[in-house]
Amino acid sequence: MHPGIIFLGVVVGSVLFHIFTPWWWTDIASNWGAMDDTINLTFWIGGGVFILVCLFMVYCIFMFSYKEGRKVEYKPEDHKLEKILTIATTVGVIALLAPGLIVYNNYINTPKNALQVEVNAWQWGWQYRLPGEDGILGTAQVAKITDDNPFGINLDDPNGKDDILIEDDVLHLKTDRPVKILLRSLDVLHNYYVPQFRAKMDAIPGIITYYWFEPNKIGEYEVLCAEYCGVGHYAMRAKVIVESEGNYENWIKEQETFSDLIAKQESNESKLTLVAKSND
């Protein structure tokens, strides 16, 4: 069999695989449809180039396989052709890059009305902090984390008092409201990634990173850690529940704020001292 046929088969097979593949995007559940669009654009242009190049190659090996005394072209350079190819490639590259940069510009500029959510990542789990009624998260430092202050909130920061603390890996989000995810890591690198939302960013100890998206489909989504973070990496899951505004408000009312936590601890302490005293 002529090798050209097999190479042709590889190209045709790749195209067919792409057409009939059962493996494709998960249904998008956020505003980042534009990312899918840029990927599709890249797919069409890139796929087209792949097919053209490979078909041309297959054509060449069919037409010009070895024959004693075949007349071979001797043409070391062809400036015109090279120029055309350079320009065509440059145009193609610009066509891919420009939309990508526009989407990226949206990605790094968070809308003003975005709800802030701080995700705390550690080996190997997640917890969350939401701003209270003031809409502002209090400052916090990893070094200040204690058993009594699981998020390391600066005690002298008034903004932190009403922060809502969720010591659980399930996060609820309102549908159709942009969310700015602030990522804080207590130990190593992590990445808060929900495939359906498309967006992702690493959590790095030592700085705060962010990204934003707007969930627009009610449902439950699995969170995966997408940056290798040690042996438990593959098991580092969490859950995001996107729900209607009403359900969300009900959920948030049940959550504990930082001042609740402090109050509870103080009453515990006073109970303890009472017990201690009564034992005297």
**Positions 154 through 173 that interact with other proteins (CB under 8 A):** 154, 157, 159
Which residues between 35 and 54 bind other proteins (CB under 8 A)?
35-36, 38-39, 42, 46-47, 49-50, 53-54
Residue 274 contacts other proteins per CB under 8 A: no
Only segment of 1-9, 169-177, 258-266, 272-280 that touches other proteins (CB under 8 A): 1-9
Residue 232 contacts other proteins per CB under 8 A: yes
Chain centroid to Cα 258, Å, comes to 28
Only segment of 62-70, 167-175, 253-261, 263-271 that touches other proteins (CB under 8 A): 62-70
Residue 218 contacts other proteins per CB under 8 A: no
Paired tokens of 132: 């209270």
Backbone phi, psi, residue 246, to 5°: -60, -50
Chain centroid to Cα 245, Å, comes to 24
3-state secondary structure of 245: helix
> Considering the complex, what minimum distance in angstroms separates the CB of residue 246 from other proteins?
27
Residue 20 contacts other proteins per CB under 8 A: no
Q: Which of 176, 187, 256, 260 binds other proteins (CB under 8 A)?
A: 187
> Considering the complex, what minimum distance in angstroms separates the CB of residue 109 from other proteins?
9
CA distances from 53 to 2, 10, 15, 41, 46 (A): 19, 13, 14, 18, 11
CA-closest candidate to residue 131, choices 168, 182, 175: 182
Residue 137 or residue 248: which is nearer to other proteins going by CB? 137
CA distance 180 to 209: 10
Residue 220 identity:
E
